[in-house]
Amino acid sequence: MKYEEAIAKLNETNAEELSVKLESLKNRENLSEEEINVLLAETVGMLFSASKECKAEELYRVVRSGGKPLDNHENSLLEENPLFGEDYIRFCHDPIMPFVEGKIAEGETISLMTYRKAVKENPLALLMEGFPEDSNVFDILAKDGLSENGKGNYLSAAKFIKDELIKENKDEKFIRKIKSLLEGEELCTALCYSHDGADYIAMRKDTVDIYYCCTSIIVCRLDWMENKGAIVEVTPLSHSKGFVLPGKDIEYEEFGEVGTFTFEMDDYR
């Protein structure tokens, strides 16, 4: 929805009625597809789109490949559960949360991928969860006419989206409906949200190589994980020799006797 129209809609919407509609969407098991679409349009659909620059110098992914090293660029872009659709691929700003989010089991061998910024320009990412309550942006929105009722409605709808993004068993189809409402007619280059201090970004596969380059793939075994990722210890088995580039096979070499790698959440928060 256009900015001015969204502010007017947020202001005029009854907060209690909005709460009832969001609760119905939260417990949507018995709703028809049409009913869900109508409720989404009357809730999430009244939000305006907002974006920010993604300035992360490094992004990380974990890929399951049956314990085998990834052999080419195309396979390196595989995602087990594409939350935002097949055209998007999800990254995290730290190397720990991909283990947690991917529910990697102790003893499982995976590929840990590191991407580094390749250009000075930053991709614009759609804010899937909206602005937090303490954001200075609300001062600007108030000057543009957003009322206290409108702010409350905005935060209610934004919280609903956030809860859908971070719950354990995500409804991928439903989240894609939300994405479509927020982005409008133009496909976004990237989408972003955060949870428990971790930042997630999903980029269109056809734009990843414009902004980032995969500089490292470490084939490793998860030895143990403490307290949902507070500490993650892995044994590295092999690593890629060079950058992962389109059209080129990925070559690996053994790590040798290097011991284990330990990632601690405190180092990334």
pLDDT (tens, 9 = 90+) of the chain, 269 residues, equals 789 999 999 999 999 999 999 999 999 999 999 999 999 999 999 999 999 999 999 999 999 988 889 999 888 888 888 899 889 999 999 999 999 988 999 999 999 999 999 999 999 999 999 998 999 999 999 999 999 999 999 999 999 999 999 998 899 999 999 999 998 777 789 999 998 888 999 999 999 999 999 999 999 999 999 988 899 999 999 999 989 998 899 999 998 777 899 999 988 87
In this predicted structure, what is the pLDDT of residue 108? Answer: 95
In this predicted structure, what is the pLDDT of residue 229? Answer: 87
In this predicted structure, what is the pLDDT of residue 42? Answer: 96
In this predicted structure, what is the pLDDT of residue 235? Answer: 95
Residue carrying the six token digits 């102790």: 106
In this predicted structure, what is the pLDDT of residue 144? Answer: 96
In this predicted structure, what is the pLDDT of residue 81? Answer: 81
In this predicted structure, what is the pLDDT of residue 183? Answer: 87
Which among 127, 198, 155, 202 has a CA at the least distance from the CA of 22? 155
CA–CA separation, 245 vs 158, rounded Å? Answer: 38
CA angle 90, 201, 238 (to 5 degrees): 50
Helix/strand/coil (H/E/C) assignment for every residue in 21-61 = HHHHHHCCCCCCHHHHHHHHHHCHHHCCCCEEECCCCEEEE
Exposure string over 176-189, b if 16+ CB within 10 A, otherwise e: ebbbbbbbeeeebb
252 phi, psi to nearest 5 deg: -125, 160
In this predicted structure, what is the pLDDT of residue 82? Answer: 86
Residue carrying the six token digits 């935060």: 155
In this predicted structure, what is the pLDDT of residue 125? Answer: 95
Question: Does the CA dihedral 215-221-224-227 come out positive or negative?
Answer: positive
Length of the chain: 269
In this predicted structure, what is the pLDDT of residue 145? Answer: 96
Question: Does the CA dihedral 265-228-158-42 come out positive or negative?
Answer: positive
CA–CA separation, 262 vs 235, rounded Å? Answer: 9
Q: Residue 188 carries which DSSP code?
A: P
In this predicted structure, what is the pLDDT of residue 154? Answer: 97
